[in-house]
Amino acid sequence: MSHYSLNINGVLRQVEAAPETPLLWVLRDQLDLPGTKFACGVGTCGACTVLLNGVPTRACMTPISTVGRKQVLTIEGLDAKGAHPLQTAWQELDVPQCGYCQSGQIMTAAALLKENPNPSDAEIDDAMAGNLCRCATYVRIRAGIHRAAEITLQKKEGA
């Protein structure tokens, strides 16, 4: 077991884990952050996506020993009140069906919108291609991303 200091959602957290322990299990089992989901376990579905220094990263495949001082952002840290434009859009448009993959979808979309505040359908499809939805709500996910971009723009214009 090794001791790690992790920056999780802007808070320095201390954990002990074997170096090869996936970040996913540290988040869920030690830090009680269950929003990051386990699904495939091999990094192909995207349900476990978190942002590591702003980059979508599969927590199920990221050994805790590689995280270091990088900033880890989970769905719980996106907005404490659940009012991030993506969360608002998801609610307005009733994007999820079962909802299991949605935290990974939202985290990937958050990285996309930070880099590209007004993406085209093709840019959304490209950025989101690694996130699978068993319920096939891809059209609603794309609409939710467009709506979040609109909400963000409205907030900027109103400010």
Size (the chain), residues? 159
For CATH 3.10.20.30, the residue range(s) in the chain are 2-77
Choose the CATH number for 2-77 among 3.10.20.30, 3.30.300.20, 3.40.718.10, 3.30.470.20.
3.10.20.30
pLDDT tens digits for 52-76? 999 999 999 999 999 999 999 999 9
pLDDT tens digits for 100-110? 999 999 999 99
* Architecture of the structural domain at 85-158: Orthogonal Bundle (1.10)
Residue 42: is its pLDDT beyond 90? Answer: yes
Amino acid at 37: K
Q: What is the mean pLDDT of residues 18-44?
A: 97
Show the 3-state SS of 12-31.
EEEEEECCCCEHHHHHHHHC
Helices first, then strands: H and E counts in the chain? 6, 5
pLDDT of residue 159: 64
pLDDT of residue 21: 98
Contact at 8 Å (CB) between 128 and 140? no
Residue 158: is its pLDDT beyond 90? Answer: no
pLDDT tens digits for 83-142? 999 999 999 999 999 999 999 999 999 999 999 999 999 999 999 999 999 999 999 999
Judged by DSSP in three states, 126 sits in helix
Q: Which of 54, 36, 53 is nearest to 45 (CA)?
A: 36
Contact at 8 Å (CB) between 144 and 93? yes
Contact at 8 Å (CB) between 126 and 56? no
